[in-house]
Structure 1
Amino acid sequence: MTRLFGNKNTTNKPYGTIEENGVGKFNDINPAALRSLKTMGITHVWYTGVIEHAVLTDYTKYGIALDDADVVKGRAGSPYAIKDYYDVNPDLANDVGNRMTEFEHLVDRTHAEGLKVIIDFVPNHVARSYKSDKKPAGVKDLGETDDKNVAFSASNNFYYLPGQSFHVPAGYKPLGPNAFPTLDGKYDETPAKVTGNDQFTASPGVNEWFETVKLNYGVDIQNGRRTFFDPVPDTWVKMKDILVFWANKKVDGFRCDMAEMVPVEFWNWAIPQVKEVNKDIVFIAEIYNPAQYNNYINNGQFDYLYDKVQLYDTLRLLVRGERSTADIHAIYQTQENIHPNMLHFLENHDEQRIASPFFAGDPWKAIPAMVISATLDNGPVMIYFGQEVGEAGAGAEGFSSEDGRTTIFDYWGVPQHQKWMNGGKFDGDSLSMEQKQLRSFYSDLLTLSSKNPALVDGEYADLTASNIAAGNFTDKVHAFMRFAGEERLLILTSFNAAPLPVKVQVPKDIFTRAGLDPAANYIARDLLWREAEVGFDQNLAFQLTLKPYSSFIFKIK
């Protein structure tokens, strides 16, 4: 989260202003920070919240209209309520008038350290106050030529509720007890536009995406979702042009917010055109419907999809003792043809922190889940800043409550991450010994997963089902193999809260598939902690007592 990453301010006053709580800047992300990420095994940095969104900080002297507090969430605003697709968030610049140049320099710095840049593209909705003051010459603004007398027209950019005026949700208090010049419980919008999460009402509830309005891609949502894609809708053209604009800023990829709320036909049309600017640019879809995975990869032409509903949800519940390790292989099988496309994670800006009491309460408890995320297949894996030092997302930041997540709506400092920042040195000297060990684990795991041939492109074989069936271990233990050439790895993890003696047996056919001789003698040494070594017996099995929440990546030799 770009506005939080470089913030050194530790005040953390609930509902604090940008002056009180501070904000991270593009320029705070210096070569030392980027070099440290590269050394850790990172290949891409997703800078969240780059494109200008509605905020409650006054930038009117720079020609930026003051936002209406009644349709902004928090002082810092949601990074997903875009105010101008052709500009960057002024909060992130030291010299607001030079803000785009500062972003371009960040891109250059990132590339200079051998890293690639991903930014958010928010295609489904915009801020209610959307108005581009930086759009290129000749570009018409969203809604500028809309016929507002009709609820739907394929040539409109928005959906309307003719004859109705928008009403701010009753009792909405974005700033708690604090005042703001534009905070009066009203927002002038007639006719009312439909909210970003498809609420066709002029009076959306406080828990809806009422601060945003839905973009119209030629789908008549209220009439059987009939589509009008010929001629190409105006919204398609405008959004493709915005993607091309940012591709020309040398970004290397887009994380596309709520991509499945936008018709797959648009992506099929737009993505190839953007790749004409940069054939290597990547598109990541935030998607939550497994039934649509193949559609958005094969027809939508996305490179990667969020693996939230399947792997993340299962691993999270496993950490909490609420699922079986046998469920993991079933997920692997359902994704048989799309493993390279599935982006795995345990944290992001939407999810609760591992170290929070809402998830694991202890960052070490999720280590086995992280090992599986990084090694199960050859898809990419993602971590959220602060995850690697046990950031707990504690505190009621103002608009955000005490919910285990790091705020995306408030100006705030992130305490454990700030220890790694160490005043801008980004050397981790202020971390505790345990935090340094945790970060070292993440570094080792990410490096292994991106460089070891067996993990990069090796075969997979499940060992969990056969060992559970044989009574060798319980369904709180997980085991599988990955192998390629002379690299044969056995990944063993435990989700048990107590020590557990286990036996791990490799079926003879899998041993042979991995290019191993069942009649020979083999040992396995752990690559993660470099402490454990086991020997296989004549039955191709070994025994080990697993510590609570332990994990191993054994190399068989």
Structure 2
Amino acid sequence: MAKDTKINLRNQCMYSIYVRNHSEEGTFKAVISDLDRIKDLGAEILWLLPIHPVGQTNKKGTLGCPYSIEDYRKVDTAYGTLEDFIDLIEEAHKRNMKLIIDVVYNHTSHNSTLYKEHPEYFYKKANGSTGNKVGDWSDIIDLDYSLNNPKQKEFWDYQIETLKYWANVGVDGFRCDVAPLVPIEFWNIARRELKEINKDIIMLAETIEPSFIESLRKAGVVAHSDSEVFEAFDISYDYDTYEPLKAYLDGRILLEEMLNTKRIQEFIYPSNYVKMRFLENHDQPRAAKLFPSEIDLVNWTAFTFFQKGISLIYAGQEFKDANLPDLFEKDLVNWTEEKSYSEFIKKLIQIKKNKIFAQGYYEIIKSKKIGVIEAQYKYEHKNLIGIFNVERKMGFYPVDLKDGRYINLIDGKEIEVKESKINLTLKPLVIQY
């Protein structure tokens, strides 16, 4: 982690919004009208997917991908004006919420303003043409941050000035797309200069799957590990354990193997590390699609919130939307309310605000029953235990609790411990003692 990362980020919930598909209008003003609901849910940080004009050359789909950016220093007129965006920032701040924006610094669109003005800032293939290092990203061209670029310093300065521009507009931080593909030295300089504008600036890195890092390095492409990225960032994606989660769900590895990838985070990362814990995001299947069973969805969602780190909700997840909005088309979030499920999410966010999640020692306990996850926090004289029945096991489960009655913080119901055992149910359980 950056040395000055605030561990209270572990108590917070981030809410991700794709402005185009968040409402019929697809505007900043429409997002403003939804702020009270998002605030009531419990989210403290808003993350907007890219807000800039979308490149039209080689675009994907009808409307193009927001990650193929035409101009870093403008807002997409389809979303509104710069003044509308500033209004959104101010309205979020009035509600004690922070707002961060997406930064896509590995590449731009083919017809970007930056390419038109500074083609020398871009990566060149052996034949001298522009292109990209990842084959299926056909709508973008890569930038060249290397020291071999004669314009390297000028280019780095330009990119950092853009970040400073948005910080001065009022954004509270940046989610940095495929951050490991941009030199860590660049991010260190950017962080230092942004801190001079806002000492509490939030830096979130979209880190990448270990298998992707491996394939890029084999191809001779710079790809930083999560451990390296933590040098400049406050938060990193949890893709190092999301990939094993998918392997477990596909039946390729056992539950304990997957959990081991989470356990090792406690000693391979800095002590103040903050992971962004998620079951879904704009690049991955909806949680409700991944877990069609309500029982499985509830248990995995509760465990995801229980883990050490900041929690992510992708707009619509709180209503159990199973459709992942298309990045390239108008494809609205399904706002048909699942009241009981949104209240469940709200309760998990409330529980997460307990300071034990930020300051406590976290441990995923060796399973006492195959198919059940048990994890705990210890801080001062308090303990928090979570039990998640992810494989629908029945019977008794041994716990390190004195006999008696306890309250499940999730649903408020009593749980009896008798002879140091509880009777397993299909619902997730969180107890403080």
How far apart are 1:232 and its partner, in Å? Answer: 4.9
Q: Is 1:5 aligned with 2:12?
A: no
2:376 — aligned with what?
A: 481
Question: What is the alpha-carbon distance in structure 2 between the residues aligned to residue 91 and residue 270 of structure 1?
Answer: 29
Q: 1:322 to 1:439 in 2, by over 3 A?
A: farther
Q: Is 1:157 aligned with 2:128?
A: no
Q: Is 1:392 aligned with 2:322?
A: yes
Equivalent residue in structure 1 for 2:329, among 392, 410, 413: 410
Alignment of 1:324-473 (within 5 A): 324-326=254-256, 327-336=258-267, 337-338=269-270, 340-356=273-289, 359-362=290-293, 364-377=295-308, 379-393=309-323, 405-415=324-334, 417=335, 419=336, 431=337, 435-449=338-352, 451-465=353-367, 467=368, 473=369
How far apart are 1:230 and its partner, in Å? Answer: 8.8
1:39 — aligned with what?
A: 40
Question: What is the alpha-carbon distance in structure 2 between the residues aligned to residue 25 and residue 544 of structure 1?
Answer: 50
- Secondary structure of the residue aligned to 1:381 is strand
1:422 — aligned with what?
A: none
For the 8 Å contact 2:19–2:79, the answer to whether it is kept is: yes
Q: Is 1:530 aligned with 2:432?
A: no
How far apart are 1:447 and its partner, in Å? Answer: 1.2
- Secondary structure of the residue aligned to 2:386 is strand
How far apart are 1:120 and its partner, in Å? Answer: 0.3
For the 8 Å contact 1:143–1:158, the answer to whether it is kept is: no
- Secondary structure of the residue aligned to 1:88 is coil
Q: 1:38 to 1:87 in 2, by over 3 A?
A: same
Question: What is the alpha-carbon distance in structure 2 between the residues aligned to residue 523 and residue 458 of structure 1?
Answer: 24
For the 8 Å contact 2:206–2:237, the answer to whether it is kept is: yes
For the 8 Å contact 2:277–2:307, the answer to whether it is kept is: no
Equivalent residue in structure 1 for 2:65, among 75, 78, 91: 78
Equivalent residue in structure 2 for 1:208, among 136, 141, 147: 136
- Secondary structure of the residue aligned to 2:376 is strand
Question: What is the alpha-carbon distance in structure 2 between the residues aligned to residue 462 and residue 271 of structure 1?
Answer: 33
Q: Deviations over 1:301-325 (max 9, x none)?
A: 1111101131x23344555665433
Letter in 2 for 1:107: I
Alignment of 1:111-150 (within 5 A): 111-131=93-113, 141-142=114-115, 144-146=117-119
Q: Deviations over 1:456-492 (max 9, x none)?
A: 3212233334x2xxxxx11x11112213245322100
Q: 1:390 to 1:521 in 2, by over 3 A?
A: closer
Structure 1 runs not aligned, ≥5 long: 8-22, 55-66, 94-98, 132-140, 147-155, 165-190, 200-206, 219-226, 394-404, 420-430, 468-472, 512-519
Letter in 1 for 2:19: T
Structure 2 runs not aligned, ≥5 long: 1-17, 211-223
Across the aligned residues of Structure 1 and Structure 2, the Cα RMSD in angstroms comes to: 2.4
Q: After superposing the two structures, state which structure 1 stretch, 118-127 or 325-334, moved more.
A: 325-334
How far apart are 1:364 and its partner, in Å? Answer: 4.5
Question: What is the alpha-carbon distance in structure 1 between the residues aligned to residue 422 and residue 124 of structure 2?
Answer: 66
Q: 1:323 to 1:363 in 2, by over 3 A?
A: farther
How far apart are 1:500 and its partner, in Å? Answer: 1.2
Question: What is the alpha-carbon distance in structure 2 between the residues aligned to residue 234 and residue 363 of structure 1?
Answer: 53
Question: What is the alpha-carbon distance in structure 2 between the residues aligned to residue 320 and residue 523 of structure 1?
Answer: 38
Larger relative CO (CA 8 A, sep 6+): 1 or 2? 2
Letter in 1 for 2:313: I
For the 8 Å contact 1:524–1:534, the answer to whether it is kept is: yes
1:60 — aligned with what?
A: none
**TM score, norm. by length of structure 2:** 0.86
Alignment of 1:235-314 (within 5 A): 235-288=155-208, 292-298=225-231, 301-310=232-241, 312-314=242-244
Q: Between Structure 1 and Structure 2, how many residues are aligned? A: 400
- Secondary structure of the residue aligned to 2:233 is coil
For the 8 Å contact 1:306–1:342, the answer to whether it is kept is: yes
